[in-house]
Amino acid sequence: MHSARQRLLDILASAFLAVLTGALLTATSTIIRGVVLNPCPIVSDVRVSSTSALYRVRSSALLSSTAPDASAYYLPVNGIDAHSEATTRLPSNIEIVDTADSPEDNHEDLRRKALQRANIPRGFSLGIRTTERVSLFLSGTVDFSPCWDWNTKAIYVSFIARFSSKSVVQNDVTILDAVLRPVSLPAQLAQLAEKRRQERRAASSRSDTEKTSAVKGPVATPLLTNAERQQLADFERTLRSDNHDHPSLYIDHIDKRIVLKDSFKYYVDAFDDISLGGNTVEVVLRYQVMSYSGWAPLREDVLGHQVKIKVSANAVPWEPYKPGFGLKS
C-alpha cells in the first residue's frame, strides 16, 4: 500500500515538474525570440486620409472639490491636497454656472435657476464644459504576422492620437483599436488562404515594379474563384466580434493584418482645455503581444509624417447640444 502511494506521489511530482519545465521553456523561448529577432509589424502607407471639421462641444458637468467621483474636475495647485477646496482651481475649459437669484433676473431666469438648484446634489456646483473635438480617418495596412508565432494568444492593437496642450504635456487619445485572435483553419480553407497570400504577393510585386520602373507590370492571374473567395469571406465573418470589431476596419485574423480604409472609431477630444484648434496631432501605433505564458512589453511605433495633421483653428458648434439641468442651449 505504501509503495503504491509512493509511486502515485512520484508520478504527480514528475507531472508537475514537467508542466513547470514546459512553462519556463515557453516563456524563455518567447523572451529570447523577442530580444534576438525583435519582430515588428510591417506598416504599409498608413496615413490620415481625411479629418472632420473642428467641433466645439458644450456639456453640463457636476463639480465638487471634495466628492471623490467629481474631484477630477478640479486641478490641484502647487501639489497641495486636491480635496481642499481652498487650494483647487477649475480647468480653463469649465465655467461655473451662477444658480443664485439676482435682482436683474426675469421670471424665466428665476424659474430656470430654481430648477437647477432642485436638481443639483448637495455639495455640488453646476458647470459648463467646453471641449474641442475632431475625427481622424485612417487608411493603410499593418501586417502583424512577423509578431505572431506558435506561442501567441492575441495581439492588442490601438492607434493613438497624440498632442500637447496647455495643461498636459502629452495627451494620448485612442481613436481605433482591434484584437488579433488565433484561428484554426480546416484543411480546405487553409489551401484557399494560401492561394490568397500568393495573389497578394503577386499584386505587391507588380505594384513595386510599377513604382520603380514606371512601367505597368503583367496582370496576375487570379488563383481563387469567386465562390472560393466567398467561402473565405463567410468563414472570416464568423471570426468577427460584433461587440468590439468596428465595421470600418478589416481585421484579417487568418494572416494577422489590419486594413484601414477611412477607418474611424473614437473622437479625439481635448478634455482638460481648449487646445486642439491650430494644434498638430500625431498618430502612433501601439500594440502588445499576449502569449500563452504572459504579456510582452507594450510597444509603440511612430508612423511618420503622413500621420501628422494640423487641426483647423476655426471651430464650429457641435449639434445637437443638450445642456441638461435647465441650462440654456
Q: Could you read off the pLDDT of 136-191 as tens digits, one per residue?
A: 999 999 999 999 988 899 999 999 999 988 878 889 999 999 999 999 999 999 99
**Cα 242 from Cα 290, distance rounded (Å):** 21
Which residue spans within the chain are E strands per DSSP? 42-51, 54-63, 75-76, 88-89, 94-96, 125-134, 136-143, 152-163, 171-180, 249-252, 257-263, 268-270, 280-291, 294-295, 299-302, 308-310, 315-317
What local confidence, expressed as pLDDT, does residue 271 receive?
Answer: 80
Only one residue has cell 490568397, namely 196
Beta partners for residue 42, in sequence order: 143
Average pLDDT over residues 79-89: 49
Q: In whole angstroms, what is the distance from residue 71 CA to residue 90 CA?
A: 10
Q: Which residues of 309-327 are buried (b: 16+ CB within 10 A; e: fewer)?
A: bebeeebeebeeeeeebbb
pLDDT in tens, 208-257: 666 666 566 566 688 889 999 999 999 999 999 888 889 999 999 999 99
Beta bridge partner(s), residue 317: 56
Q: What is the pLDDT of residues 273-312, one digit of tens each?
A: 888 989 999 999 999 999 887 777 889 888 877 788 888 8
Cell matching residue 232 = 473565405
Question: Which residue type does 84 have?
Answer: S
Spell out the domain ranges in the chain: 55-132
Could you give the CA distance from residue 141 to residue 139 in angstroms, rounded to a whole number? 7
pLDDT of residue 203: 84
**For the whole model, what pTM was predicted?**
0.78
User: What cell numbers appear for 116 in the block?
Assistant: 437647477
CB 291 within 8 A of CB 323: no
Q: Which of 78-92, 107-121, 272-286, 294-308 has the lowest mean pLDDT?
A: 78-92
pLDDT at residue 14 in the model? 79
Round to whole Å and give the CA distance between 288 and 297. Answer: 6
> Do 287 and 299 form a contact (C-beta atoms < 8 A)?
yes
Position 82 confidence tier, pLDDT thresholds 50, 70, 90: very low
